[in-house]
Amino acid sequence: MDKKEIKIYSAMTIAVFAFFALRGYYSAENYSEMATGMLEEFRNEMSFILNAGPVAIFFIILINNSVKTFLFMLSGFLFGLPPFLLLAFNGIFLGIVANIVSKSEGWRFLLAGIIPHGIFEIPAIILSMNYGLWLGHGFYRKLRFKEPFREKLSVAIRFFSRIILPLLIIAAIVEAFITPAILDNFL
Question: What domain range is 95 assigned to?
Answer: 3-186
Residues 124-156, buried b or exposed e (16+ Cβ, 10 A)? bbbbbbbbbbbbbbbbeeeeeeeeebeebbeeb
| Res 79: pLDDT | 87
Compute mean pLDDT per 10 residues along the chain, 187 residues long, and list them: 90 96 96 92 86 94 97 93 94 96 94 96 96 95 95 96 98 96 86
Q: What is the pTM of this model?
A: 0.93
Q: How far apart are CA 90 and CA 167, in angstroms?
A: 17
The string of pLDDT tens digits covering residues 35-87 is 999 999 988 988 888 789 999 999 999 999 999 999 999 999 898 999 999 99
C-alpha to C-alpha distance for 61 and 176, rounded to whole angstroms: 8
Are 102 and 159 spatial neighbours (Cβ–Cβ below 8 Å)?
A: no
Count of structural domains, the chain: 1
pLDDT tens, 50-61? 789 999 999 999
Whether 83 and 72 have beta carbons less than 8 Å apart is answered as yes
Q: What is the structure's pLDDT at 43?
A: 87
